[in-house]
Amino acid sequence: MAYTERFEEALAHAARLHKTQTRKGSETPYINHLLAVAAIVGENGGTEDEVIAALLHDAIEDTDETKESLSERFGENVAEIVEGCSDADAIPKPPWKVRKETYIAHIKTAPPSALVVSSADKLHNARSILSDYREVGEGLWSRFRGGREGTLWYYRALVEAYESVGSSPVIEEFERVVEEIETLAGEGRGVGI
């Protein structure tokens, strides 16, 4: 399947929206994360709308973009997928734990396309955590609002939520990566989280 001009427009739009942002604790341009999530979605059979939503999945949550403006530019389906991947659109954002608990509960009722993009996003995040944990060790946890315990809890809860609604190669890999993070952290599956 070849992507249309909508994909090109989404790519440029995502680059503009996130041009000054970097990944937590690094100088890596944030667009690299968006490209990686879009690649995971596309490589696992995602539709063009899902790939576009992957590029824009943090637009509502982390920029001034709104669901309405995304809908006008890329269509209602893309806007709904992006909204389904957002844990908050309010300013100020609710407390971290409340946002994460709400997001986990939402996974159980999220539309399939939102699950495709959401699980790809969390897989890439987990891969990055694992890579960074190997490189910097325990100092990694200071990057996260939930710290070590909260972050480990959140990723285990995400695995369980995704598995409760089905399985896919992305969800299966996500579980393996989370288990590896837990092992490095000395947690073991579900122990102490």
Chain-centroid distance of CA 69 in Å reads 21
* Catalytic pick among 9, 61, 160, 173: 61
Kindly tell me the number of DSSP H helices and DSSP E strands found in the chain: 10, 0
* Catalytic pick among 62, 101, 172, 180: 62
- C-alpha distances (whole Å) from 139 to each of 29, 96, 97, 136, 183 are 21, 20, 21, 6, 16
Count the alpha carbons within 13 Å of 171 in the hemisphere toward its beta carbon: 17
Is 87 marked active-site?
no
**46 Rama sector, left if φ>0, alpha if ψ -120 to 50, beta otherwise:** beta
Is 61 marked active-site?
yes
Residue 106's Cβ-count burial label (10 Å; 0-12, 13-18, 19+) is middle
Which residues, including other chains, have CB under 8 Å from residue 62's CB and lie 6 or more apart? 18, 21
C-alpha to C-alpha distance for 21 and 19, rounded to whole angstroms: 6
The single residue listed with the structure tokens 């734990």 is 97
- Catalytically active residues are 61-62
